[in-house]
Structure 1
Amino acid sequence: MRSTALLSSLLLAAAPALAQSPTGTPPSPVRPETQVSPPLRAEPAPPAPPADAPLAAAAGDAPLPVANAEQQRLINGAPLNNPNVAVHVVQKKRFADAGRHEFTLYPGVPQINGRFTRHAGTGLQYTYHLQENFGLQLTGHYNWYANESDFNLELIDKVREQAQAASALLLSWGALAGVEVTPLYGKFAFYDNHLLQFSVVLSGGAGFGSTRVLIRPEVTQQVDGVGSVVPARFGDTGGKFLGSVGGGLRVQFGDSMALRLEVRDQVYTARVDRVDGCNQRDFGLLEEARGSGQTFAELDLSGSCRFQKFDGVDPKTGKNYREDIVLGKDLVGNPSSDVLNNLGFYAGFSYLF
């Protein structure tokens, strides 16, 4: 009985320790500094920004302040009004050219490669855009200034020498028909608020032109002690075949206005064997009649010779035209030929409809 009572008292003493550790091993005491802190209370998530609000500078940062809401307004999905945002897009041409008509005025077309000649004129061009990148052209050009270069005039004045007539042949006007192709086009920003459409254009054509040659340069003469200026005298050398090739840039400002900047090379064959329709034989007969006092109308001249150009006196300056017969004879006495390149800069404005 005494042993049973002793065992029961031992079990009652060990019960609190067994209740603290299932394995029977007393739990180790917990140090104050290693105790686990209670979990922090979760803060509520900030509301989602609207779709057109600017993006945050980095994940987790607050949205940047908006100084001007208009700058952040989305246009076709992009903030085009924001100066700090660059948007690059690929889109179709704003204005289609296929099936449209275009008239271009070139108010001033200077020659930029003149060695023996100088030209300046005005051109008018019509273009029918048969397709988006292909068009048909008609071009007319008139040179209101056509003269020999200062270099050639200086040779005439100082050493009585000049370039061959064919090398100094002047183009009075020309008319050509041809084609235009647009191999490349694009757009660029203008003052950050406008998009301009540009095209690279290449052209070529053929046609006909009228030429002339300088017979006598401008001179100053003394009549009764009074000086007067005698204007230059030119002779017609007939029509010539023209060819043209060129290229440049076309910038379209809107649906109906455009600016063209081009360089074109007009090529024409030059052979001088007649001046004002008179050949070498005709000038020989005119020179004989001049010395004998015979009238030019009685001479056996070719049908194309316009002998009236070498007869009479200029009523303004008193210049005797018969003195130009020798000069005309010198021009055709040794017929010359050449191929000339008249390189011009074309800057003009277009209207499309």
Structure 2
Amino acid sequence: MNSVDLENITKVYGGTTPSVDDISLTVGDGEFFTLLGPSGCGKSTTLRMIAGFISPTSGTIRFGDRDVTKLPPHKRDTGMVFQNYALFPHMDVTGNVVYGLSMRHVGKEEKRTRVAKALEIVGLDGYADRRIDQLSGGQQQRVALARALVIEPSVLLLDEPLSNLDAKLREETRAQIRQIQQRAGTTSVYVTHDQSEAMAMSDRIAVMSAGTLHQVGAPREIYRRPATSFVARFIGRSNVLEGVVEGVESRRLAVRLDGGEALFAPIVADTLSSQVVKGDRVALSLRPETLRIDPVEETTGAPVGAIRATVRMSEFTGSSCVIWLRYGEQDLLATIPDTDDLPRDGEDVLLRPDTGRTWVVAP
């Protein structure tokens, strides 16, 4: 079983502030698992501790039932794909891919078979004799992936492997990597700061910030049910409004926003919404696509379940329109279907959130 278990992993360099602070998570056998967060959040440090390049200050790392915490990298049975690919420019494609097998003293015939299989998996059969400088960036990335897969590792580790590609090639290559990983069935841990990349590729995502773990879950779960205001803002776009719980009913909460309006949110078992009580301070995550814009019918205030805001500007994006608004001192964003009847800049409108998609998060 090629699972990866991190138990209370902490890494402290010279100072007192941990780069990685007491992280525990499990990557399932054959899973594509992504560590996601902004630069400096500790995701690459976590990956390098899994690889064995960095030793944790405390905690335990297991691959299946093996404790690998103190094992050197070459004894962990991992394949690594680096940000800069780390290919040997003086070798052809075969030379690069076969390198790990040569270091393991694999027989000549088995080398030939495994290299051919690896190149087929990554879609580069027919490129075996090409020089590295004859390949595109995307092809070089796939050579690096083949070199990692050819040794048949227990765990595949990928450290921002698409960051050097342009936007279009990055989008194409991320789909190829996901397909390759699914064909190979290798347990994989992927590091990126790109939320779109993580959402498109992953079985599950761990969202990190400042060395701490904010949430682990499937992409749709993290997007629709963020655990904290950081996750809500970092994954996609979200309007996060703070307030105080004013009432707790059987299926929903009433939250009085700092701006004075009252909104509702569903109570969902085993989430923060089911744990708060009247008087608790919370935040509400409102995704732009869950907001409806209506005209203002009264001269003051807003009805319960709505927000009164002022339109700042509108953007036509093709299939939809993005409306920028001002609510008190806060900027809000709404995404609505394209229409010829857009609200005018400077006009006051009512924003009505979809109560079922309004989510309670930690402020």
Q: In which range does the TM-score fall when normalised by the shorter chain?
A: under 0.3
Q: Which has the larger radius of gyration?
A: 1
Q: TM-score, normalised to structure 1's length? A: 0.20
Structure with a larger share of its residues in strand: 1
Q: TM-score, normalised to structure 2's length? A: 0.20
